[in-house]
Amino acid sequence: MSVAHAAQGSMMPSLDRAALPAPPPPPHAALPKVQISAKQVSNISSTITHTIKAAVTAAANAYAAAPGANPNQNTLVLYDITGQWGWLGEAYGVMAGNLVTHGSKYTLQPAVNYVAGELNSYTGLIYIGSTYGEPLPTALLDDVLATTKPVLWMNDNIWQLSARATNFAGQYGFTPMYFDFSNTLTVTYKNIALQRNALAVPSGLLQTTINDSTKAQVLAVATNDTGGTVNWATKGANLTYIGEIPFSYTGPNDRYLAAIDLIGKVSNPNMLSRKRALVRIEDVDAEDSPAQLRAIADYLYSKNVPFSVALIPYYVDPNGYYNNGVPVSIHLYQATALVSALKYMEARGGVMMMHGYTHQYSNIDNPYTGVSGDDFEFYTAHIDSSNYVIFDAPVPVDSASWTQARVTAGFQEFAKAGLILPTVFVPPHYAASAVDYQVFQSNFHAMSQRDLYAIGWCPNGACGTGTPDYTRIYGQFYPYLVRNVFGSVVMPEQLGDVELVEYNNNPPRFPADILYSANCNTVIQDAVQSFFIDPTLDISYLKQIVQGLQAMGYTFVSVSVITKG
């Protein structure tokens, strides 16, 4: 383990740097007056041709649920695609779909492709309105107004639905009113104050008013810097409305967490209410202290806490960064004392995960030192003049065969060391290409990560048919088990890790910060509180987090339990 690790933890670049932006501000605060256009009417047809087209689209864009989801649920996820910022819609749709999988299977498609009666095949609908004035089919509006199934509507074009209704306020008990542009930086949901990034403020927050409190209620309010409040989420009858895009500018304590819970109420209204937790020991390699690893295993075993270990199979320091300019390379089987400690950890509830092959790329600084544990392996990155880590692109040699060779070599390292072969993969620094993710999916039962995506992978909702645009990437974290659009089962990791010092504009993060985030996550039904920690840190940090989560009523469980759902 490098000196840098000992000083500051995992050096995990924040995927918040790959956060999605919000759509541009609406042209004015007042909602537009709606007249159904000829284009919208032309989208409505009950002909056999459109029915067949809808069936073919649904089959191509249907995605499986995560293990443990409700097999009787099936959610339709719709998103916008028109205009200069239409590309954002695909990303928002993918993020919503990934979250849906904890509760149900789903179909993903642009809203403009909706045909009459399509909702009949689903148990619920989620629509993300990211384009102001998207020409929504009248069939969609009519079917939403006619259904009693749960519907979650986000941001724009709710005015099209209200204008289409005979009596929207009478049916739902609330009315969409105008865009609020006050500096609302806090969203309170289930009595928990969540953050709202100031960058989201210019896009506005569409305000509602309650007309009939027997039919509608405010689920969450946003508070501005003068103490005023506006409605953030409103529910009337079977319709839940969020007044913005909650997938933009997200963070660990963000209003995104409230949106996740509301998505779950559509994907599986009978979601379980479990309180489970996960801990992962991070960046373990041949340079680590066997004594420290044994001490961690002893503590966790004494507290009846199962755990996982993200193990780097082959340690390399190609330029001798930490060895006075003399290159170092250590195969796992050569580190006999470490292997003994790892087997000791396995005997005390530890599960080994493969954390890349070398957790670095070539002999270059990518972006730090070129040393295992410090750098990216499947992606290139640099540090800009403002001291931010910038994600550049997949490595130049990226291909399915190259990635498979590294995975295979990693398996060989485990085998030579006499360790149980891993079934879970942790991408170094949570970054890889679409090609890489498909290779990982074919080799491992599950992933432990935050996902990284590129725009263009899912044209018209058909993921895998497009070409990723790595100049437009975005990250997503999960608070429970999901199945992502690459088909991988992904275990949650949303609390982050302990970082003792600021680096690359990421502030220090202590146990109190992790427990604060955990408290924010309590708004999510069935959330799994998941964090990771570097083994070189003083064990007191680990103890504080474990004890804090247990005091909150969470029970640590094994990886095998979580991957079953």
Q: What is the secondary structure of 50-101 as a DSSP string? A: HHHHHHHHHHHTEEPPPTT--TT-EEEEEE---STTTHHHHHHHHHHHHHHT
Residues of the chain with pLDDT under 50: 1-8, 38, 41-42, 44-49, 51-52
At residue 240, what is the residue type?
Answer: T
Give the pLDDT confidence score for residue 35 in this predicted structure. 65
Question: 563: which residues sit within 8 A by CB, 6+ positions away?
Answer: 67, 424, 445, 446, 481, 489, 491
| Inter-residue long-range contacts of 321-324, CB under 8 Å, 24+ positions, other chains counted | 321/2, 321/369, 321/370, 321/371, 322/2, 322/3, 322/369, 322/371
Q: What pLDDT is attached to residue 6?
A: 40
pLDDT at residue 18 in the model: 74
Tell me the CA distances in angstroms from 522 to 221, 253, 339, 424, 544, one per residue in order.
17, 11, 38, 26, 18
What confidence score (pLDDT) does residue 8 get? 45
CA nearest neighbour of 295 among 312, 278, 307: 307
pLDDT for 13 equals 64
Q: Report the percent of the chain where pLDDT is more than 70.
A: 93
What pLDDT score does 39 carry?
52
pLDDT at 52: 46
d(CA 475, CA 473): 7
Q: How many CB atoms lie within 10 A of CB 537?
A: 21
Rounded Cα distance between 352 and 84, Å, is 46
Q: Which two tokens stand for residue 483?
A: 């199945």
Tokens of 23: 């759509």
Q: What integer pLDDT is reported at residue 19 of this predicted model?
A: 83
SS3 per residue for 540-551: HHHHHHHHHHHH
pLDDT of the residue at 34: 76
pLDDT of residue 434: 98
Distance CA 378, CA 359 (A): 8
